[in-house]
Amino acid sequence: MKKSEFVWMNEGLVPLEQAAVSINDRGFLYGDGFFETLRAEDGRPQFLQEHLARLRASAITFRIPFPDSFPWADRLSQLLAANGLEHGLARVKILLSRGAAPALGLPAAARPTLVIWAQPYTPPGPEEYARGWALATFPERRTTFTGKHKSLNYLFYLAARQYALDRGADEALILEADGLVSEGAAASLVYARDGGFYTPQAPSALPGVTLEVLGRGLAQRGLGLTCLPTTLSEIAQAEGLWLTNSLMGIMPVSSLDGRVLPISPATSLLQECLNLEAQSPPGN
Interface contacts to ligand PLP, rule CB under 6 A? 37, 157, 183, 186-188, 206, 208-211, 244-246
Cα→Cα distances 30→13, 25, 99, 104, 155, Å: 26, 9, 11, 10, 12
Edge-to-edge order in the sheet of strand 44-45: 12-15, 6-9, 113-120, 89-97, 33-41, 44-45
CB of 185 to ligand PLP, least distance (A): 6
Amino acid at the residue 46: Q
Q: Which is nearer to ligand PLP, 192 or 202 (CB)?
A: 202
CB of 187 to ligand PLP, least distance (A): 5
**Euclidean distance between CA atoms 57 and 63, whole angstroms:** 10
CB of 182 to ligand PLP, least distance (A): 9
Q: Is 102 left (phi over 0), alpha (psi -120 to 50) or beta?
A: beta
Cα→Cα distances 7→28, 51, 84, Å: 18, 19, 12
Q: Which is nearer to ligand PLP, 209 or 256 (CB)?
A: 209
CB of 54 to ligand PLP, least distance (A): 7
**Euclidean distance between CA atoms 172 and 134, whole angstroms:** 9
Q: Which is nearer to ligand PLP, 137 or 244 (CB)?
A: 244
Q: Which is nearer to ligand PLP, 99 or 132 (CB)?
A: 132
CB of 95 to ligand PLP, least distance (A): 13
Q: Which is nearer to ligand PLP, 219 or 260 (CB)?
A: 219
